[in-house]
Structure 1
Amino acid sequence: MLKSCPEIADYAVDGIGNWRDFMATATQVRGYLGVSPSAYEDACHVMGQETAAIVIACILQRAQHINSAGGYLRVLTDKARVGEFSVGPMLMAALKANSATAGMTG
């Protein structure tokens, strides 16, 4: 997860050593991205807490390309509600984008 979306680790108070740390950090990042508590709670209810946290990490990773993080999360939540969203492809895209960026700078 952190290989796909490493930027979230910059926001962790004491690092990310487990899922609880990761989800707590995602909750913090949600606020920085301007995602409302209700949008995040809805995402957690529909997707599950772990998946919602992963989505927040992916949104953070691509924040410069996303006009409204809250709106984007709501769209993904609506898709998940009807079974049209899976976090796997989102993670793979983030991993590929991060690998390409790392390759350009290294």
Structure 2
Amino acid sequence: MSLDLPLTESPADHPAVDQIRQRLEHARTTRVAQLKALDDTGQGSDDHLLANQQDSIRRVLKEIDEAFARVADGSYGTCLGCDKPVPAERLEILPHTRYCVSCQSRAA
């Protein structure tokens, strides 16, 4: 969902921005709840599986924050690899994604 806007229109004024922010906020809220649930298990930091899950969630939270920054600067929805628009379907499923599928598979 690239925000291809006329130069006179701010990304913050684009009608889709509210929907994007809602999706990102939902993703953030979900990940924070998951992290809290893992923290509440009371298991020690020596549990490697638990530690890996927590690290993974923290990485996604960072990606979500970076997506909020891209919304603010107007670059949200543009692949960081090829500079082409990320398909709207991909952004609906993974609103914090930075890459289209092709570039993501090359980055992995």
Q: Same fold per TM (> 0.5)?
A: no
- Answer 1 or 2: which has greater helix percent: 1
Structure label with greater radius of gyration: 2
TM-score, normalisation: structure 2 = 0.29
